[in-house]
Structure 1
Amino acid sequence: MKLETIKLEHGKKAALTVYLHDIMELSDKARPIILITPGGGYGIVSEREAEPVAIAFYNAGYHAAVLRYSCGEDARDMQPMIEAFESIRLFKERAEEWRIAEDKIAVCGFSAGGHLAASTGTMWNEPALMERLNRTRDIGKPNAIILGYPVISSGEFAHRGSFYNLSGSHEDDAAAEFFSIDKRVNSETPPTFIWHTEDDPAVTVENALLLISALRKHQVPFECHIFNKGQHGLSMCNTEVNTPNPHCAHWFNLCVEWLDSIGFGVE
């Protein structure tokens, strides 16, 4: 494994850690990469949803990376999105060196990190972001999105803390709605994998349902698994992250199978 941590050019306190397969393992073949954006309500970055997830994808044959993005007041002005798009752009710029398949970049996020992952698939042509990143076209649209119990809607079922950290507003108003993913989905949104639990008390399952409805409306390919029981923040659903839940733990293998089904298989 090649392990490297990179300070991003446009990052405030952000850092990108990459977990790359050794070139000798690759036989000169490029591999897909999974960018992981942990949760934490945009107030912190949850380590439980960082390296344990990266190692799981690495062991499944993927390159992996963890983005520890800017949080709290540093999350204002779309800063986490800027850092996520810069990470994707870095993968493309260093694709040959790191043996990354440029057309197989997925973003996997949990809770508020799920909102950030979904933002990369719905805000990649946002004019304000293009201006901040000095781009006039695609600023880093991923090829697939993986979402675990994601924050989606700024409306009735919002996780208010997440939207406050992004927008500075505690209300369901224009400032918060700007970041509402269900309002941003369109036919160009990448294929999406979603998992949630029906009784999640922190980010209600309606967030996933609203996203599914928007994806169906715009005919975006998706797969969704809603498990009947499970607390918020399950991550890998095992003892390593202190949330053992064998049933919900199936999400990971289901996700890898889904990635294979959309052409993201590791050769």
Structure 2
Amino acid sequence: MKLENIKLEISSGATLTLYLHDIMELREKARPIVLVTPGGAYRFCSEREAEPVAIAFYNAGYHAAVLRYSCMEDARNMQPMAEALESIRILREHAEKWHILADKIAVCGFSAGGHLAASTGTMWNEPALMKRLNYEGDILKPNALILGYPVITSGEFAHRESFYHISGSPEDDETSGFYSLEKRVTGETPPTFIWHTEDDPAVTVENALLFISALRKHQVPFECHIFNKGEHGLSLCNEEVNTPNPHCAHWFGLCIEWLDSIGLGLE
């Protein structure tokens, strides 16, 4: 494994860690990559949803990366979104050097990190972000989204703490509603894989259902798995991350199959 650690220039603290297959030791073909955005209510980045997930995708044959993004007050003004989109640009610009398939970049996020991952697919063409990052076109658009128990809505079923940290507003108002992603889905949103548990006590399943409904309305391909039992923050659902749940753990294998089915698997 080859590790790369990058400090993002647009942030005082965000970092991008890459887990790359060594091209000199293994097959010479380039590989897809999965960018992981861990959860933590935009208050912190959960390590259980960071490196263990990246290693799982690495072991499945993918390159992987983890973005540890800005949180708390530093998350205001779309800062995590800018960092995530800048990360996608870095991956594409270094695709040849790192042997990445530039048209096979998926973003995988959990909880608030699921909100951030979904933001890359719904806000990559947000005018303020385009101006800030000085880009045009779809160079920052991910090719797929993988969302685990994602925070989505600022409305009735909101995870209010996440929206407070990202927007500065404690209420369902115009400020927090700017980040309500079920309202931002368009036909340009990438194909999406979503999994959730029906009895999640922290981020209710309605978040996933609202996003699915918006995807269907705009004819965006998706796959969704709602498991019947499981606490919040399951990550890989195994002993390594201290959330053993053999049934929900099927999400990872299903996700790999889904990536293959939409043409984002290994070549």
The one-letter code of the counterpart of 2:154 is S
2:19 counterpart residue number: 19
What is the DSSP-based 3-state SS (H/G/I as helix, E as strand, rest coil) of the residue aligned with 1:24? coil
Provide the residue aligned with 1:117 in structure 2: 117
Q: Please state if 1:242 is matched with 2:248.
A: no
Tell me, in whole angstroms, the C-alpha distance in 2 between the residues paired with 1:243 and 1:54.
Answer: 17
Task: Tell me the CA shift for residue 254 of structure 1.
Answer: 0.2
Runs of 4+ in 1 over 3 A off after TM superposition: none
> How many residues in Structure 1 have an aligned counterpart in Structure 2?
267
Q: Please name the residue that 1:170 is paired with.
A: 170
| Identity between Structure 1 and Structure 2 (%) | 79
Shift of 1:26: 4.6
Distance in 1, matches of 2:221 and 2:170, equals: 33
Letter of the 1:56 partner, please give it: A
Once residues 168 and 18 of structure 1 are traced to their aligned partners in structure 2, the CA distance between those partners, rounded to angstroms, is 31
Partner of 1:39: 39
Code of the aligned partner of 2:130: M
Residues 162-206 of structure 1: per-residue CA shift (max 9 Å, x gap):
111111001111111110110000001000000000000000000
1:229 paired to 2:241: no
Q: Which residue of 2 aligns with 1:253?
A: 253
8 Å CA contact retained: 1:31, 1:266: yes
Give 3-state SS (helix, strand or coil) of 2:43's partner: coil
**What letter matches 2:40 in structure 1?**
G
Flag structure 2 segments of 5+ consecutive residues without an equivalent: none
- Cα-to-partner distance string for 1:113-132 (whole Å, 9 max, x where unaligned): 00000000000110010111
Shift of 1:2: 0.2
- Could you say which residue in structure 1 is the equivalent of 2:181? 181
SS in 2 for 1:82: helix
Q: Deviations over 1:133-161 (max 9, x none)?
A: 12233350000000000000010000001
Gaps of 5+ in 1: none
Distance 2:198 2:98 in 1: 39
- What CA distance in whole angstroms lies between the structure 1 residues aligned with 2:25 and 2:106? 21
Paired residue type of 2:257? E
Counterpart CA distance in 2 for 1:136 and 1:95 is 19
Tell me the equivalent position of 2:99: 99
Cα offsets for 1:82-136 (capped at 9, x unmatched): 1000100000110000000000000000000000000000001100101111223
Normalising by structure 2, we get a TM-score of 0.98
- Where does residue 76 of structure 1 map in the other structure? 76
